[in-house]
Structure 1
Amino acid sequence: MRPPAPGPARAHGRTKASAPRLLPLLLAALLPLSACGIPATGVVEAGEPATGVLDPGPDPSPSQTWPEPAPATLVPLYFVVDGALTTAPRAVPGAGADLGSTVLMLFEGPDAGERRKGLTTELPPSTVAPTIRTDGAAVSVQLPEDVAGLSDLAVDQLACTVAVARMRQDPTLGSAQVTVEQPGGRLAGRSSEDCPADAARRNR
């Protein structure tokens, strides 16, 4: 009887003996990776990508510049003091009021400061602007229905205010002629030359 061949037995014995020794080596190789927190499943992205430092840009604070106020223009209104005409200049923004707005201011009467100076009016209050037509130096003023029966002094107030305002609109005019038409067809004509000359020249 022959003894078994030693080759395969020794080879098989070496295989079984080497497996227990390889396991500690594999565990030792994996242990540093798990201790460092490196995942074994690949790269895991987290958070947003890094960006550079942004330029803060210009100061966002608003500008402190203010618009310049519009220059005021003096508009002369004719009122009455001691039974005679006199002017009271009113300051309005811009280049001045148109003829209709000027007449409405006149119908409002003297303000508190003007009344303290003794100024009165012969015109009744009205909130309806008259119809005004101009043709060069000629001006026609058609009064509304709520204004009727004006006295001569009231017509003078109205006509002189309109005449001087018209000459301020067109500085090339040497004079202005105003026709006042009251309800019922009553007409009255006045010329800027009939107005107090000192007042007209002072406010032109």
Structure 2
Amino acid sequence: MSTKPAPSRARPVRRALALLLLAAGPLTACGIPATGVIEAGAPASGVRGLVSPAPSATRAPDTATAAVPLYFVQDGALTAVARALAVPAEPASAVALLFQGPDRAERAQGLESELPRGGAVPALRIDGVTVTVGLPARAGTLSDTAVAQLACTAAAARLHQDPELGTVLVTVEQPDGRLAGRSSDDCPGLARTADTAAPTSAPPR
């Protein structure tokens, strides 16, 4: 009795493998892996790597200021009050601030001004140690105390500009043509000491 050899089970397996390889070929050729679905994380919401730069920690330098005295009146006497002015502290800036009068805190301390508050700011001319203040017509005639306020404030700012001047002479031109003025040596806090005064020649023997 002849026996036929049993069909080999390897043939169907090889055939199945061949079909799988043929099916996988186009996928791998396109660069798509044939390993099923790959988790790629959350959907893209933007382009990574483009991060907005943090704001710079370096602040722009503040405007330089200097403490310059403005002269107000307290109990009938001139009183100097330090105010911050942008450098260079020009006499015109100091005088403009003076015409605004004392602030609320200064008024609470009894400071006042005899200058017309909010009036037209005078024009200033500077020539070395001399400062000329020209009052506008609507300023009216100033009292002696108001002239002293104006002259001492202008002189203080001019000395702050150029401390080597030593002494500043201020002339106030009033609308009626009268001239008044003051030397910085006559202003409280501005008078030169004996050490800084100009030397005088020794008397002849």
Scaled by the length of structure 2, what TM-score is found? 0.66
2:147 aligns with 155
The DSSP-based 3-state class of the residue aligned with 1:185 is coil
2:11 aligns with none
Structure 1's 118 and 97: CA in aligned 2 closer, same or farther, altered over 3 A? same
Matches within 5 A, 1:75-154: 75-93=68-86, 95-154=87-146
Partners of 1:109 and 1:73 in 2: how far apart?
19
1:171 aligns with 163
The DSSP-based 3-state class of the residue aligned with 2:182 is strand
Q: Residues 94-137 of structure 1: CA distance to partner in whole angstroms, max 9, x if unpaired?
A: x2432111111101100011111110111011353311111110
Where has structure 1 moved over 6 Å in runs of 4 or more? 35-38
Task: Tell me if 1:66 matches 2:56.
Answer: no
Aligned AA (1:78)? Y
Partners of 1:116 and 1:140 in 2: how far apart?
32
Q: Residues 166-204 of structure 1: CA distance to partner in whole angstroms, max 9, x if unpaired?
A: 1111111110111100112121121112212xx2269xx
Aligned AA (1:128)? A
Q: How many residues were matched structurally? A: 164
| Higher alpha-carbon Rg | 1
Scaled by the length of structure 1, what TM-score is found? 0.66
Instruction: Please state how far the C-alpha of 1:145 moved relative to its aligned partner.
Output: 2.1
Structure 1's 89 and 96: CA in aligned 2 closer, same or farther, altered over 3 A? farther
Structure 2, gaps ≥5 residues long: 1-19, 31-46, 193-205
Aligned AA (2:181)? G
The sequence identity of aligned pairs, in percent, is 50
Instruction: Please state how far the C-alpha of 1:55 moved relative to its aligned partner.
Output: 9.7
Aligned AA (1:77)? L
Please report the RMSD computed on the Cα atoms of aligned residues, expressed in angstroms: 3.3
Partners of 1:57 and 1:107 in 2: how far apart?
55
Partners of 1:183 and 1:59 in 2: how far apart?
62
Partners of 1:192 and 1:61 in 2: how far apart?
53
Partners of 1:126 and 1:70 in 2: how far apart?
26
Aligned AA (1:101)? S
> Which is richer in helix?
1
